[in-house]
Amino acid sequence: DIQMTQSPSSLSASVGDRVTITCRASQSITSYLNWYQQKPGKAPKLLIYVASRLQSGVPSRFSGSGSGTDFTLTISSLQPEDFATYYCQQSDSTPRTFGQGTKVEIK
């Protein structure tokens, strides 16, 4: 199985801050990496696929980068509605595996 490790597990930030979350795969997954946002009591929502492609309807302040084993999700200017938990997920092979999540909290 490919293990996905996110860092940090949680962070505190203020509205307007630039936020970066990293995700590392235990082996190369080329660009087969997705990012999801989950708010309390809600299903995950796809933000980014194939490492850097923005899902339709997702604000442009979200961006993704990386390839191989190291990936980054960046929120350029944090908005109140962005406080949530973020998960990376590899789509290179089964079993489909997720990172443990990064909770973004209000500072």
Partner 1 sequence: QVQLQESGPGLVKPSGTLSLTCAVSGGSISYIYWWSWVRQPPGKGLEWIGDVYHTGSTNYNPSLKSRVTISVDKSNNQFSLKLDSVTAADTAVYYCARWQDGYNLYYFDYWGQGTLVTVSS
Rounded to a whole number of angstroms, the minimum distance from the CB of residue 77 to partner 1 is 25
Enter the tokens of residue 88.
């990376």
Rounded to a whole number of angstroms, the minimum distance from the CB of residue 91 to partner 1 is 4
Phi, psi of 94 (to 5 degrees): -90, 150
The window from 18-26, 57-65, 68-76, 99-107 that contacts partner 1 (CB under 8 A) reads 99-107
Of 1, 28, 59, 106, which lies in the binding site for partner 1, with binding defined by CB under 8 A? 1
d(CA 54, CA 60): 8
Length of the chain in terms of residues written: 107
Rounded to a whole number of angstroms, the minimum distance from the CB of residue 71 to partner 1 is 14
Judged by CB under 8 A, does residue 68 bind partner 1? no
Question: Residues 6, 23: contact at Cβ < 8 Å?
Answer: yes
